[in-house]
């Protein structure tokens, strides 16, 4: 679905997040102030949201667009139901 460049970008972001999580483990072990820890976890949630936006964008621009241009109405209905579910679920957290 994603081309090599897009996959490399998403993986690079995920590996950075992995490093940030290890940083938080260290903050906990070092008894760092809770509010500073929360500031870091918030940065991670924000980074994950960026990854999700990228993946969603690729999904729309490849799978969904391809489905649009096919004449497969069942597949189109399925894609629409999936987007609806993503929209609804992602806002609930």
Residues that bind its own copies (CB under 8 A): 1-2, 7, 10-11, 14-15, 17-18, 21-22, 24-25, 28-29, 31, 33-35, 37-38, 41-42, 44-46, 48-49, 51-53, 55-61, 63-65, 67-69, 73, 76-77, 80, 82-84, 86-93
- Taking alpha carbons only, the member of 64, 58, 69, 55 closest to residue 82 is 64
Retrieve residue 41's tokens: 């976890």
Rounded to the nearest 10 degrees, how much is the dihedral formed by the CA atoms of 24, 26, 27, 30? 160
* Closest approach of its own copies to the CB of residue 70, in Å: 9
The C-alpha atoms of residue 10 and residue 88 are separated, in whole angstroms, by 23
* Closest approach of its own copies to the CB of residue 67, in Å: 7
* Closest approach of its own copies to the CB of residue 64, in Å: 7
């Amino acid at each position: 679905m994603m081309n090599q460049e897009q996959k490399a970008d998403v993986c690079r972001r995920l590996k950075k997040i992995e490093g940030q999580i290890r940083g938080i483990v260290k903050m906990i072990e070092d008894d760092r102030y809770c509010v500073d820890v929360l500031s870091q976890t918030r940065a991670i949630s924000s980074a994950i949201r960026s990854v999700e936006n990228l993946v969603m964008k690729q999904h729309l621009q490849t799978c969904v667009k391809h489905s649009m241009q096919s004449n497969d109405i069942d597949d189109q209905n399925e894609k629409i139901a999936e987007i609806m579910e993503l929209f609804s679920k992602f806002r609930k957290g």
